[in-house]
Each structure stands twice: as C-alpha cells, then as structure tokens.
Amino acid sequence: MPKHLFALTATVAFVLFSCSEPPSLPRPAGYLRIDLPDHSYQVFDSAFPYHFEYSTSAEIEFDDYTKSGPYWLNINYPEFKGKIHVSYKSLLENDLYNLSEDARNFVYRHADKAQGIRELIVEIPEKRVFGMAWQIEGKEAASPFQFWVTDSTEHYLRGALYFSVRPNNDSLKPVIDFIVRDIDHLLATIEWKLSPIKLTH
C-alpha cells in the first residue's frame, strides 16, 4: 500500500473513532433555575398597631384568612406562590405565655416531616422587639420558617411562611432563603404603635 494511502486511511479511522459519542450516562436530578430579584423594600404603614418594611417583590393581601383577626394580613409573593401569614394579638386581651406556647406547638406540628428545627432568638431592645424564630428544615416541611415577636406588654405578632405548591424545599431553597432574608428585614424594621382600641361586639 502506498505510504500516502496508509496515512489517509489511518487519519480517517482516527476521526471516525474520536467522533463516536461516549456511552449515555444517567444524569442526577436537577431543579429549574430560579432568577431572583434584588432585595428592595417598601413601608407598610396604616391604622394597624404596627408597621414594618416588606419586599417590593411582594404585596399586602387581605382575604378570607385575614378576616380571622382585625389586624391580620398576608404578605404575598405571587411570582413564587409563597405567602407570609401574619396574625396579631393584643396583650391587653391575651396572655403572652399562652400565645408563645401556641406558636411553638404550631412549629412542632411539622416535626414528623422535618429533618431539623433550628430555634433562633429575636432581640432588638432599642425597638422593644423580642421573640423567637424557627427554621424548619426538611424537604416536605409545609412551613419552612415561622416567628413571633412582642414588646412584652401590649403587642404580639406572629408570622408563618407557606407555599401553595407541593412541598419540595430542596428545589425551593433559593426562594426560601430569599424570603427569610426579607423576614429578617421585616423584624429589624418593625415598630409598635399605640395600643389598639378594644373592639366591642
């Protein structure tokens, strides 16, 4: 065989074998990329006995759920199908110990689905904001974050984060972290007002 034909044959063979696709391997499960906006805030201030700053990615919502109490509301994240349910109680009419125990019981209802529950102390003395927060870890935990705060004499505010999708907190983790940072800002900016007038029926 002429030398130039041998060289040509060898080159073609090399190209054919080098272009063959490698065997197909299973890929690990992945999640859709979630593009998150920048953190920016706006003020919620009304006739309510408290005000705070909340995300511009969210909107204040009053619905059938919030009719349970006169100063209840939802902070709705429509893009992420998430809501922070916020409820308020006056300590002029309710016992702080009972309210705080109720909040703890609500959290530990998720214990069977949780891989872990981290308790965090909330303490901002100069603003008279004291309370607890819970990071509820686990793929199927229905509420990944809850909190309550009080001034210890007149006001009590509780919040719980929920999503209106089947719980899969592994895929939701970037969104959960995003909203928890917003909750941290909310707690840092909350201020109490004069005690609400006792409602009569």
Average pLDDT, integer, range 17-29: 49
- What confidence score (pLDDT) does residue 117 get? 87
Instruction: Output the six-digit token pair for 71.
Output: 């100063």
Nearest residue to 56 via CA among 33, 73, 79: 79
Q: Does residue 108 carry a pLDDT above 70? A: yes
Q: Where are the beta strands (DSSP E) in the chain?
A: 41-44, 50-55, 59-61, 73-77, 82-90, 116-124, 129-137, 145-150, 155-163, 191-192
- What confidence score (pLDDT) does residue 175 get? 93
Rg (CA), the chain: 27
pLDDT band at 167 (very low <50, low <70, confident <90, very high): low
Nearest residue to 50 via CA among 144, 139, 128: 128
Higher pLDDT, 196 or 51: 51
pLDDT band at 15 (very low <50, low <70, confident <90, very high): very low
* Domain ranges for the chain: 50-192
How high does pLDDT run on average in the chain?
82
The helix (H) or strand (E) run that includes residue 155 is strand 155-163
Query: Is the CATH number 3.40.1130 carried by domain 50-192?
Result: no
Average pLDDT, integer, range 85-97: 96
pLDDT band at 168 (very low <50, low <70, confident <90, very high): low
